């Protein structure tokens, strides 16, 4: 049995799959709340606002507060605040995400940082060249994540990471990357908890994003065999989780709640 200080849960593939909650997820979260163990949900998505994520979970029957969800855009905003940036040039697919950056002056020229989410088909040569020139002039590039590709219904599609890598290569400058598996997302998500990183457990279905990310942040990891999980991926990977369970429902047999 483990005695956790807190939990970070991936969402898609751990808490829900498709349009339904994964069996046992609601009960586990209720048990953690009753035991006073803090938890948050972490996600790389930049295609849906935090409020829309909360609404989607509510429609599935899981009532969560917006503060329970820590997404890549939220991490980017907190990072910029910690860096002391005032002026931000923001490229995001959903203008509702501007709410996460309400503390900053949103500008078109001479920003302290360029913050970029996945623009999908809106990535053009003109847009990339504009970001490149602003980086050369001294602005930091803040990438919400660096995923290589994602898998919508119509087939594999280039994700934000391909364009961030191009900008890094052209400018000879590294981006500050927020999303998994970078440690930034994990550390920023628990900044207010004031508990040891080594007592925090990350529960995820993705070896590269969740499990490696937890290790990068100095946290413990629990791999679930739902969502993205593939047995052959585990066998061929050098990434070793601290624990492996069939699904989030089995977490109750692993943790000490008292």
In this prediction the pTM is 0.85
Domain 6-44+180-253 shares a fold with domain 73-177: yes
- Which sequence spans correspond to the domains of the chain? 6-44+180-253, 73-177
Question: DSSP code of 257?
Answer: -
Query: Tens place of pLDDT for every residue, the chain, 258 residues?
Result: 888 999 999 998 999 988 899 999 999 999 999 999 999 999 988 877 888 889 999 999 999 988 899 998 989 999 999 999 999 999 988 788 888 899 999 999 999 999 999 898 899 999 999 999 999 999 999 999 998 877 666 777 888 999 999 999 999 999 999 999 999 999 999 999 999 999 999 999 999 899 999 999 999 999 999 988 889 889 999 999 999 999 999 999 998 775
Q: Topology of 73-177 in CATH? A: Rossmann fold (3.40.50)
Give the DSSP per-residue string, 13-49: TTTEETTEEPTTHHHHHHHHHHHT--EEEEE---SS-
Other Cβ atoms closer than 10 A to 244: 15
CB 254 within 8 A of CB 2: yes
Look at domain 6-44+180-253 and name its CATH class: alpha beta
């Amino acid at each position: 049995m483990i005695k956790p200080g807190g939990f970070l849960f991936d969402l898609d593939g751990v808490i829900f799959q498709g349009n339904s909650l994964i069996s046992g997820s609601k009960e586990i979260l209720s048990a953690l709340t009753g035991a006073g163990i803090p938890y948050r949900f972490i996600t790389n998505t930049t295609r849906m606002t935090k409020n829309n994520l909360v609404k989607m979970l509510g429609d599935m029957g899981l009532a969560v507060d917006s503060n329970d969800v820590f997404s890549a855009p939220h991490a980017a905003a907190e990072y910029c605040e910690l860096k002391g940036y005032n002026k931000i040039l923001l490229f995001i697919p959903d203008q509702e995400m501007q709410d996460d950056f309400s503390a900053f002056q949103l500008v078109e020229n001479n920003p302290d940082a360029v913050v970029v989410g996945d623009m999908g088909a809106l990535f053009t040569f003109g847009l990339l060249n504009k970001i490149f020139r602003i980086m050369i002039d001294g602005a930091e590039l803040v990438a919400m994540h660096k995923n290589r590709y994602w898998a919508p219904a119509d087939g594999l599609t280039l994700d934000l990471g391909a364009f961030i890598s191009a900008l890094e290569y052209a400018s000879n400058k590294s981006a500050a990357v927020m999303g998994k598996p970078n440690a930034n997302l994990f550390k920023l998500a628990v900044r207010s908890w004031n508990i040891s990183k080594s007592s925090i457990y990350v529960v995820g279905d993705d070896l590269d994003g969740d499990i490696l990310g937890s290790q990068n942040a100095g946290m413990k990891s629990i791999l679930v065999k739902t969502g993205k999980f593939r047995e052959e991926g585990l066998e061929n990977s050098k990434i070793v989780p601290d624990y492996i369970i069939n699904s989030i429902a089995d977490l109750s047999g692993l943790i000490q709640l008292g």
